[in-house]
Amino acid sequence: MKIEDLDTPCILVDRRIAEANLARAQAYADEHRLPLRPHIKTHKLPLFAHRQIELGAIGITCQKIGEAEVMADAGITDIFIPYNILGRAKLQRLRVLHDRITLSVTADSETTVAGYGGYFADAGHPLPVLVECDTGAGRCGVQSQQEAVALARSIASRPGLRFDGLMTYPPRGQLAKVNEWLETAKAELARAGLEARRISSGGSPEFYSAAEVTAATEHRPGTYIYSDRMQVEHGLGSLSDCALTVLATVVSRPAPDRAVLDAGSKSLAADRCSAPGHGHIVEYPEAVVASLSEEHGVVDLSKCVRKPEVGERVRVIPNHVCVVSNLFDVVHISQDGETAEAVKVAARGRVR
C-alpha cells in the first residue's frame, strides 16, 4: 500500500532505519564478543525477532509468557523470560512452553523458586533459573550477593531446576558499579560451589557501553531497534535513528498557534521524557505536542514559522516507543519510504 493512502493514526516503521539500528548494534556486539538476546517487548513482531536472530542474536527475551508463546508459535526456539513467574495458571503454561523450546526464567525470592520447583520436579530436562539481582535500578532483584548465593543454592537443590546464573537490569550511568556487583556475586557463588555460567545484562540507552560490564555473558537490548525520544535523550543516537513514527492528520487549526492531531494518548501514550511535549513532529521540529486527550493531540505552533493546514499529515516520533507498539493491532513497515506492508503486532496486549 502507498504510504500516502494509509489512514491515520497509524504506525509507520522505516525498515531501513530499523535495519541500520540492528546492524550497528550487532556489529558492536560482535566486536566485543557480547552475545545479544534482544527483548521483543519493543516490536512484538515475529518478523523482527527472526531478523534479530538471523543477524546473530543467540535467542530472544520476552517479559511475559504470552509474548513467549506467540514467539514460540512463530518458530523462535530459545526464549528467556527475566521475570518472577507466579501462580498456577502461569506455571502450567510455563511447563508446556518448556517442553516446546529452550526456555529460561528468573527468580528473586524463595516463593518464586518454590513455585518453579513444584511444577518442574518431574520435568524431562531441567528449567534453567537465573537469580535476578538489583544492581541499583530499584526494581526487582535480590539486594546482596549473599542473598544471590542463598537463592542459587535453593534453585540448585530442587529437582527439575538448574541454577544457571544471574540477571540484572542495570541502572543508567553506573555500569562500573554494576560490573563490580556481578563479579563479586560470581566469585561468592564460585566459593559456594555454584557456577554462574550465564550473566545477563540489559538496556538500550547505554547499549554502546554494554561491553564495560565484562561479567556479562549476554545483553538484552530492547528499544534499540526502533529508538524513541527517550532513548535519544539518554544518549542513544539521534532523532534520525528513530525508525517508528505515528502517522497523524491535522484535524483542526482552531487558532493561529494551535493545531490538533488525530493522535492522542490512545495512540502516542502519556509517557513523558524531559524533552518538551508528547512527541517530536518530524515535519515541524519547532512544534510542541503540548497536551493529549485520548484521541486528540494539541500542538503548540507558537515557535513555528511554517504551520500545517487542516488535512495535512505529519509523522510523530513518540516519547516511548514500546508502549506505542502495544496500542496498535497493526504496524506498517516500509522498505522504500513510499509503500508499506501491514504486519499484525502478534504479541500486542500479551500482558499475562
- Tell whether residue 204 is a contact of a second copy (CB under 8 A): no
Q: What is the CA radius of gyration of the chain?
A: 22
C-alpha–C-alpha distance, residues 228 and 183, integer Å: 32
> Is 164 or 262 the residue whose CB approaches a second copy more closely?
262
Q: Which is nearer to a second copy, 219 or 278 (CB)?
A: 278
In whole angstroms, how far apart are CA 326 and each of 70, 181, 182, 185, 331? 14, 34, 33, 36, 10
Annotate each residue in 302-331 with x if it binds a second copy (CB under 8 A) or - if it does not, as one string: -------xxx--------x-xx--xxxx--
Q: Which is nearer to a second copy, 26 or 265 (CB)?
A: 265
Tell me how long the chain is: 352
Q: Which is nearer to a second copy, 31 or 294 (CB)?
A: 294
Tell me the closest approach of the beta carbon of residue 295 to a second copy, in angstroms. Answer: 4
- The distance of closest approach from Cβ of residue 269 to a second copy in the complex, given in angstroms and rounded to an integer, is 6
Give min distance, CB of 7 to a second copy, in A. 4
Asked whether 232 and 239 are in contact (CB, 8 A), the reply is yes
Residue window 18-57: x/- pattern of binding to a second copy, with contact defined by CB under 8 A? -----------------------x----------------
Q: Are 148 and 129 in contact (CB under 8 A)?
A: no
Residue 170 CB, shortest distance to a second copy, in Å, is: 13
- For 23, the 3-state DSSP assignment is helix
CA 221 to chain centre: 7
231 lines the binding site for a second copy (CB under 8 A) = no
Residue among 50 and 93 whose Cβ is closer to a second copy:
93
- Would you give the binding string for a second copy spanning residues 87-126, x where CB under 8 A is met? x-xx-----------------xx-xx--x-----------
Size of the site for a second copy (CB under 8 A): 61
Under the binding rule (CB under 8 A), the answer on residue 269 touching a second copy is yes
- Helical pair 46-54 and 65-73, crossing angle rounded to 10 deg: 70
* The three cell numbers locating residue 23: 546492524
Q: CB-hemisphere CA count at 13 Å for 253?
A: 13
Across the chain, where does the E strand assignment appear? 10-14, 60-61, 78-84, 102-107, 127-133, 161-168, 198-202, 218-220, 244-255, 258-261, 280-281, 288-292, 297-300, 313-317, 330-334, 341-344
Binding site for a second copy (CB under 8 A): 5, 7-10, 41, 63-64, 83-84, 86-87, 89-90, 108-109, 111-112, 115, 132, 134, 138-143, 249, 251-255, 258, 260, 262, 265-267, 269-272, 293-296, 298, 309-311, 320, 322-323, 326-329, 349, 351-352
